[in-house]
Amino acid sequence: MVGEERDFRTGESIGLTIGSAVLWGVAHIATGRQRTGFALMTLYLVVVAFIITLATAFRGQLLSLAVRPSWLMGLTIAIASIAVIWSVVILWSFWLVRPATAGRSAAAATAGLLCLLIIAPSAWATRLAYVSHDVVSSVFSATSTTPVVAMDPWNGAPRVNILLVGADAAANRVGVRTDSMTVASVDTATGATTLFSLPRNLEQVQLPKGPARERFPYGFTGEGPQTPGLLNEVYQYAEDHPEMVPGVRAGHRGSTLLKETVSDILGIPVRYYAMVDMAGFAEMIDAMGGVKITINEPIVYGKYNEGLLPAGTRKLSGAEALWYGRSRTNSDDYVRMGRQKCLLNAVAQQADPVTLLNSFERLATATKRAISTDIPQDLLPALVDLGQKVKGTHIRSLQFVPPLISTADPDWNLIRDKVADALEDRPTGPKPATAKPSSTPGSTPSATPSPQGPISLDQVCG
């Protein structure tokens, strides 16, 4: 029998419709459809139990699942399907217990509102899953040069080394300059991380064996006044000269040669890279609502001293954070390198889930524009798990800058020894700096001392 035959009053109809939204099948049982009602209840309880189990027992794996494109697509379909089924159950229940004509409008409005309350958050969650899928698919490679094994994604390697590059393209320069180059060396078991920073103005850089070294047998010297031969020019030089990295397609030549070059400098295998465009990085910071930084001394920025970042702890906008990380006014490259590490550390620590969710679409759009990498999609779950371990450790940093290293005439053996000491956690002792005097006219040594061993970023970033 339908509602009119059972003569449901308006209040009863509204109550049963709401009850059916909370527990499927209530209205069906009330109208004598026990078999259908109990079937709907069972289905509802199965769905709820699955969601609760997923959110509790598998809570630690949810973040890893969120970077799997196939799982994200399945989640998108599942959320949309549940929302549609739930809405159908609500409307079906209303139809069964609809009151006489006098109160039908109020009951219908209630049913419509309940459907809206189900569809709106489901649509938001579906959109979130779809955007996540789009970001993962756009930024990360679908194929891996090395098969990723679920039981051991790092193939037995005790550490994974990733080159983090800050790239700056400007209207007054040709191509891209990699002005910030840092290798994050992460212990795959504990998450213990050491950052090795190379200054952009390293000279006489030895390129890897093959066509690159054949062209520059005594170190990279560039080609004319536009490329005087600094480390930050290697990326664009490789992109402009395909013969330097034969068999590698455009857009990947620069990163390939830069990874191999940095591997040789540090004496460790650099497996992956991630490059962030600095303007896009500012957009990402704006999307997350700014970043809180402790500024130890006032920072003047701009070619003509257009602005000032006062000392103290404050929240910086994307543009201000960009100046914090790139300004060299009244300082030098090496002070700037230290600030860049503090900035990256602050962004990593402050990118909490609530902040990311609140500005997810803006952040996703900025990320697609700002980041390029060769990290494969199938490695992302393991990388996310490793990132959780890194968050619980004190990140250490070692910068190869004067007086430890002369950028004009680097001691490559000393660099490799320092890296080995840091990764084996050997005390460096009172070794004196062995930097050689600069042979480049007009070069200015940094007034910023370089530590003999890695230091915790907590000690310098506040």
Q: What is the pLDDT of residues 209-235, one digit of tens each?
A: 999 999 999 999 988 777 788 999 999
CATH code at 159-461: 3.40.630.190
Residue ranges per domain, the chain?
A: 3-139, 159-461
The reported pLDDT for the residue numbered 441 is: 34
Band of residue 5 on the pLDDT scale cut at 50, 70, 90 = low
Cα–Cα distance, 461 to 454 (Å, whole number): 14
Encoded tokens for 415: 């660099």
Torsion 364-365-371-374 (CA) sign? positive
Angle at 132 between CA 127 and CA 137, to 5 degrees: 125
Q: Is the pLDDT of residue 304 over 90?
A: no
Phi, psi of 297 (to 5 degrees): -135, 150
d(CA 76, CA 81): 9
Separation CA 290–CA 279 (nearest Å)? 14
More confident residue, 459 or 95: 95
More confidently predicted of 66 and 199: 199
pLDDT in tens, 115-150: 999 999 999 888 888 888 888 888 888 766 665 655
For the stretch 341-377, pLDDT in tens is 788 778 877 776 666 666 778 888 888 888 899 999 8
Query: What H or E segment, with its residue span, contains residue 194?
Result: strand 193-198
Q: Is the pLDDT of residue 429 over 50?
A: no
Indicate if the pLDDT at residue 460 is higher than 80: no
Neighbours of 458 (CB within 10 A): 11
Q: What is the pLDDT of residue 438?
A: 38
Please give the C-alpha separations between residue 146 and each of 64, 105, 142, 375, in angstroms, as whole numbers: 20, 63, 12, 11
pLDDT over 70 (residue 435): no
Residue 333 burial (CB count, 10 A): 18
pLDDT at 446: 35
Chain center to CA of 83? 30
Read off the pLDDT of residues 7-17 as tens digits, 9 standing for 90 and up. Answer: 788 999 999 99
The model carries a pTM of 0.76
Tens digit of pLDDT for each residue in 374-413? 999 888 888 888 888 887 788 888 989 888 999 999 999 9
- Phi, psi values for residue 458, rounded to 5°: -60, -30
Look at residue 213 in the predicted model and tell me its pLDDT. 95
Segment 68-113, tens digit of pLDDT: 788 888 888 989 999 999 999 999 999 999 987 777 899 999 999 9
- Average of per-residue pLDDT across 154-178: 80
Please report the pLDDT score of residue 130 as a whole number. 87
Give the pLDDT score at 144: 63
Per cent of the chain over pLDDT 90 is: 43
Computed over every residue of the chain, the mean pLDDT equals: 83
Mean of pLDDT values over 426-453: 44
2 residue type, one letter: V
Mean pLDDT (whole number) for 248-275: 95
pLDDT, tens digit, for every residue of 8-50? 889 999 999 999 999 999 999 999 999 999 999 999 999 999 8
Tokens of 55: 């959110």
Q: Which residues lie closer than 8 Å to 394 by C-beta, 6 or more apart?
A: 456, 457, 458
Residue 447 vs residues 294, 336, 443, 450: alpha-carbon distances, Å: 21, 12, 13, 9
Please return the burial class of 201, using the count of CB atoms within 10 Å of its CB with bins 0-12, 13-18 and 19+: buried
For residues 322 and 324, what is the distance between their CA atoms, to the nearest angstrom?
Answer: 5
